[in-house]
Amino acid sequence: MGPHSSARFVRATETPTQDWEMLRPDAWPPDQIDQVRVNGAAYRLGRLTASQVITGVTDLAQYGLAPPELTVTLTISNGEKITFFAGTQTPIDDNRYLQAATDNQTVYLVYGLAVDELQRLLDDPPLAPTPLPAASATAAR
């Protein structure tokens, strides 16, 4: 999709499997979406916690946040929107820099896989895997 692409996913139902559909850039119903990938990304995002907090930040560029590498806007069930920006990977560990849109002087270090999976949803859209053809039984001769 490229560096300036966007995607929009919504939960199609409130079922235990939490079926997702994609509305942008293309409309794909739940049966065409790799639900495991989207649920995994949502699960990791929902459990995102900071391992370190950097306050009093004046130069966002050193964290890859000016401009950010990824902007994520979540709309939770009560309609509230939460936006955050993801920056570059940290020099050690598998963390990424993250900034809440409401505070431009605080940067968080978070587990990079959670952010990377969101980027992967853009770069490699989560289409459902193509089913294998049915095996046909053949008699051994």
Q: Where are the domains of the chain?
A: 8-123
Separation CA 44–CA 49 (nearest Å): 10
Lowest mean pLDDT among 20-29, 66-75, 84-93: 20-29
For the chain, what is the mean pLDDT? 87
How much of the chain, in percent, has pLDDT values that exceed 70? 89
* Packed helices 112-123 and 35-46: angle between N→C axes, nearest 10 degrees: 150
- Per-residue pLDDT at 4 exceeds 60: no
- Per-residue pLDDT at 3 exceeds 60: no
Beta strands in the chain (DSSP E): 8-11, 20-24, 50-54, 70-75, 81-89, 95-100, 107-111
